[in-house]
Amino acid sequence: MTHRLPFITKELPGCGGIIKSCPEDFVVDEEPLYLPSGEGDHMYIRFRKIGLNTRQVVTRLAKIINIDSDEIGTAGLKDRDAVTSQWLSAPAAPFQDISPDSIEIPGVTILEHGLHSNKLRIGHLIGNRFKIRIRFCADQALEKAQAVVDRIMSHGMVNFYGEQRFGYEGANVVEGRMILQGEKFVKQSFLRRILISAFQSHLFNGYSIVRLQAGLMRTAMRGDVMKKTERGGLFIAEDSLEETRRLEAGEIVPTGPMVGQKSKAPMWDAMEFEQECMTALGYDARIAEGLRKNRMMGSRRPLLVYPKDISVEQDDGGLILSFMLPKGSFATVLLREVIKPEEDFWDQELDENHD
């Protein structure tokens, strides 16, 4: 139960190929929101890992320093089958007896550490930098990939949620809907929120698809909730022509609904369009009540995102695609545009960039 995602660069051929032939083909480096200050009750540790996901590192570190894993904070989750670096935080007290540099976890290298005043929380990052090798590409792969990259640099890419958000064959979406409709109870709050979030993300993707296919992805509708690309502020578009000009200049982007109690609503034409889309996608009063009961506040998510520092190179091993994405955006969505796979191959464990 997931949407087949369309391409925003559908008229441009893909380079073909496969990703993640080995972990070294998929490199992710977290860009932190802030660095440790040198003082405080929390030890911040930056580490590089391979062959483990973030949760596994957290569990093993907690065992070594004899604390509960819930006391360890991270800004995001990183994949197992990749080479990734990121920060975590833990209470500083256990490190009076052990230096972070002396911690030994197979597959993990400690890079640096320092004290800070607060626990690291999910979302406390700017984004992630990626360096991804694409192997076994088609003929003229570099030219094809560069054409897609150039288009995305100028027009942006749709900020779809990647398929990995939804679980195997969309099972998380189904369970999330059932929870909201009162047909299923999940005791664990963390798991319950993941499942509900999958359904919210499914609705967002559905709205994005309708808007893209209607030719409205780069048009500011009257009443749209727009977001400033630099400062991030939200506002209602009153002058469609003027805000479309700003959209085309990359100054602002339209947003779509992550439905919830306090999600900012559009007005006028955009409100009517959004309500029709949400109704067609299965959003109703029962779902709204389920969101309220589960205290899902909702938000507005940018419909377009502009990858930064994007480049593509070629060597004997294939193509190397490098770029940075803001938190919450999915590298696999960009890779789909560049590769144009005949079938989605995103059933791999790819937790990158969850916020």
Position 231 scores a pLDDT of 87
- The predicted-structure confidence for 271-290, as pLDDT tens digits, reads as follows 999 999 999 999 999 999 99
Residue 20: DSSP 8-state = -
pLDDT (0 to 100) of residue 348: 43
Query: Does the global pTM surpass 0.85?
Result: yes
pLDDT at position 350 is 43
Contact 297, 222 (CB under 8 A): no
79 counts as catalytic: yes
Q: What is the pLDDT of residue 135?
A: 97
* Residue 52 burial (CB count, 10 A): 20
In the chain, where are the structural domains located? 1-26+132-154+308-350, 34-122, 157-305
Spatial distance between the Cα atoms of 111 and 305, rounded to a whole number of angstroms: 31
DSSP string, 146-177: HHHHHHHHHH-EE-PPPGGGG-GGGHHHHHHH
DSSP 192-204: HHHHHHHHHHHHH
| pLDDT score of 355 | 41
- Give the whole-angstrom CA distance, residue 84 versus residue 26: 8
User: What are the Cα distances from residue 57, in Å, to 1, 36, 130, 263, 304?
Assistant: 32, 20, 21, 34, 33
Angle at 101 between CA 104 and CA 127, to 5 degrees: 90
pLDDT value for 347: 44
The domain over range 157-305 is classified in CATH as 3.30.2340.10: yes
pLDDT, position 2: 75
pLDDT of residue 351: 43
Nearest alpha carbon to residue 270 among 339, 316, 220, 319: 220
Domain covering 34-122 in this structure, CATH number: 3.30.2350.20
CB 346 within 8 A of CB 79: no
Write down the pLDDT at residue 345.
53
Element spanning 127, H or E: strand 125-135
Residues 39-90 have pLDDT tens digits of 999 999 999 999 999 999 999 999 999 999 999 999 999 989 999 999 999 9
pLDDT at 352: 44
Share of the chain above pLDDT 70, in %: 96
User: Which residue ranges in the chain fall short of pLDDT 50?
Assistant: 346-355
Selected catalytic residue, list 25, 79, 224, 351:
79
Q: Residue written as tokens 């009443």?
A: 223
Quick one: how far is CA 269 from the chain centroid?
29
Q: What per-residue confidence (pLDDT) applies to 102? A: 96
